[in-house]
């Protein structure tokens, strides 16, 4: 059984974590396969948006702890540098929107992969756990970077240190995720976000992602300059011209991603 399912439809590449009996916990094979699928998403012109979800009842329980306990396993020296850091970097550098559709529990690295996506949504029954402190680790996979920026320092450090289960409702309320949906509407609503993003001007979304990536590190003045530079590029695209023309002609725009 493939640990990652992958298919492309209507401009959306759907990536499904597929080790449901292990709550989609990551082993080395799954971490490397996810990286190669993210590379494929970057290189395929037909992919306009990436949608990540989990098979079965979980999104992902993070690192497969049985692999850690295995003397022949990859070991901590490889797990961050070869598994999670490249995954998080690839998601942030992918010049396409990535939606995390958190269908169930997201723990440890599983939670932080969701939080680094451009739009994270959850089913009402899903939950988020910074499980690291419970096993004597620190939040990794970008947790100490994204969490304080999403929810503020105080809540981030409490979430990280206490390692409590955070409901989807609280995740939305604290700004950790964009939205949660009732379980029976979740799949359709989450996928619709991906379809909508896939139809919007691709270059404008890529430039928006680039601008947000840099807003964490730039000064105010640097960020204004970056917006100016990216807007010059956006204004040279076909989709910008089509968007304005369609508005003035009172019709729906037809974007082509160029
Ligand atoms: O060295 C390093 O580890 C570095 C890397 C760090 C990155 C990380 O992600 S560290 C954090 C690792 N994750 C965890 O610590 C979470 C462990 N899991 C849990 O706390 C709970 O399973 C959940 C809160 C996620 C879900 O609880 P619940 O009650 O819904 O399910 P369960 O009964 O605990 O688990 C169901 C099965 O999945 C169970 O197997 P079994 O007994 O039916 O054969 C359980 O052992 C397995 N499972 C759950 N999480 C993991 C796992 N197996 C391996 N690794 C897991 N992370």
Q: Distance from CA of residue 205 to its chain's centroid?
A: 15
Kindly tell me the number of DSSP H helices and DSSP E strands found in the chain: 12, 10
Sign of CA dihedral 111, 112, 113, 116: positive
| 182 three-class SS | coil
In the chain, where the domains are located: 4-198, 202-248
Pick from 21, 22, 23, 143 the residue to mutate for probing ligand 1's pocket: most ligand atoms within 8 Å of its CB: 23
Q: Distance from CA of residue 43 to its chain's centroid?
A: 18
Contact between 141 and 109 under an 8 Å Cβ cutoff? The reply is: yes
Tell me what pLDDT residue 75 has.
84
pLDDT in tens, 6-38: 999 999 999 999 999 999 999 999 999 999 999
pLDDT in tens, 53-73: 999 999 999 999 999 888 888
Using the structure block, give the residue that is written with the tokens 């490249």: 86
Separation of alpha carbons 132 and 140, rounded Å: 8
Beta bridge partners of 17: 4, 54
- Tokens in use for 241? 């011209």
Separation of alpha carbons 222 and 12, rounded Å: 33
Q: Diameter of the chain by CA atoms? A: 66
Checking if the pLDDT of 242 tops 90, the result is yes
Gap from CA of 224 to ligand 1 centroid (Å): 44
Sign of CA dihedral 152, 104, 165, 73: negative
Q: Distance from CA of residue 22 to its chain's centroid?
A: 21
Average pLDDT over residues 112-118: 98
pTM surpassing 0.95?
yes
Beta bridge partners of 58: 105
- List, chain by chain if needed, residues with CB within 6 Å of any ligand 1 atom: 22-23, 25, 61-66, 68, 76, 79, 105, 107-109, 129, 131-132, 135, 137, 140
Asked: is 4-198 a CATH 3.90.226.10 domain? The reply is yes
Angle at 114 between CA 113 and CA 119, to 5 degrees: 130
CB atoms within 10 A of CB 124: 15
pLDDT in tens, 126-158: 999 999 999 999 999 999 999 999 999 999 999
Separation of alpha carbons 239 and 258, rounded Å: 6
Which atom of ligand 1 is found nearest the CA of 68?
Answer: 1
Chain-wide mean pLDDT for the chain?
Answer: 97
Sign of CA dihedral 30, 21, 17, 134: negative
Which atom of ligand 1 is found nearest the CA of 109?
Answer: 9
Separation of alpha carbons 235 and 130, rounded Å: 41
Contact between 226 and 246 under an 8 Å Cβ cutoff? The reply is: no
Separation of alpha carbons 162 and 187, rounded Å: 30
Closest to 123 (Cα-Cα) out of 164, 166, 168, 61: 168
Asked: is 202-248 a CATH 1.10.3470 domain? The reply is no
Tell me what pLDDT residue 69 has.
87
- By alpha-carbon position, which residue is closest to atom 45 of ligand 1? 22
Gap from CA of 123 to ligand 1 centroid (Å): 19
């Amino acid at each position: 059984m493939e640990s990652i399912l992958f298919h492309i439809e209507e401009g959306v590449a759907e990536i499904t974590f597929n080790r449901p009996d292990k709550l989609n916990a990551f082993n080395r094979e799954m971490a490397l396969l996810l990286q190669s699928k993210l590379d494929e998403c970057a290189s395929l012109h037909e992919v306009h948006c990436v949608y990540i979800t989990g098979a079965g009842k979980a999104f992902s329980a993070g690192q497969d702890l049985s692999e850690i306990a295995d003397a022949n396993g990859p070991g901590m020296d490889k797990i961050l540098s070869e598994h999670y850091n490249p995954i998080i970097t690839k998601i942030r550098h992918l010049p396409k929107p990535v939606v995390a559709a958190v269908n169930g529990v997201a723990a440890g690295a599983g939670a932080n992969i969701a939080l680094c996506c451009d739009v994270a949504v959850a089913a009402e029954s899903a939950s988020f756990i910074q499980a690291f402190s419970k096993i004597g680790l620190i939040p990794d996979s970008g947790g100490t970077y994204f969490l304080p920026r999403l929810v503020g320092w105080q809540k981030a450090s409490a979430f990280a240190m206490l390692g409590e289960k955070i409901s989807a409702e609280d995740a939305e309320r604290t700004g950790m995720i964009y939205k949660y949906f009732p379980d029976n509407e979740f799949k359709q609503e989450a996928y619709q976000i991906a379809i909508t993003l896939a139809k919007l001007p691709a270059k404008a979304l890529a430039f928006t992602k680039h601008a947000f990536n840099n807003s964490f590190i730039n000064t105010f003045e640097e960020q204004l300059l970056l917006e100016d530079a990216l807007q010059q590029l956006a204004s040279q695209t076909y989709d910008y011209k089509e968007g304005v023309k369609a508005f003035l002609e009172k019709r729906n725009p037809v974007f082509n991603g160029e």
